[in-house]
Amino acid sequence: RLIVKYSMPFYGSLPFQYEALLHPGLRRPTLSHREASSSLQTQLLLFIYLFFSKSLLLILFYV
């Protein structure tokens, strides 16, 4: 599952999160509503953290 691969592994796949955030077209259109909403929430949180502080993001995900 593409969404799960983007959303779950925070520790080693932050560039994949950026890819999903910058290129939402990579996501498959045939997704369940739960998967799409959870992925959207994850990307929104990531975008907020990136917007406020990259160091905060690194501390949050690597501690």
pLDDT above 70 for 1:
no
At residue 15, the pLDDT reads: 47
What residues does each domain of the chain span?
2-62
At residue 47, the pLDDT reads: 74
Higher pLDDT, 2 or 37: 37
Over residues 3-58, the pLDDT tens digits come to 434 444 444 445 444 444 555 554 444 445 556 566 777 777 777 766 665 555 56
Helices 33-52 and 54-62: crossing angle, nearest 10°? 120
Question: If you ran DSSP here, which 8-state letter would residue 46 be given?
Answer: H
At residue 5, the pLDDT reads: 41
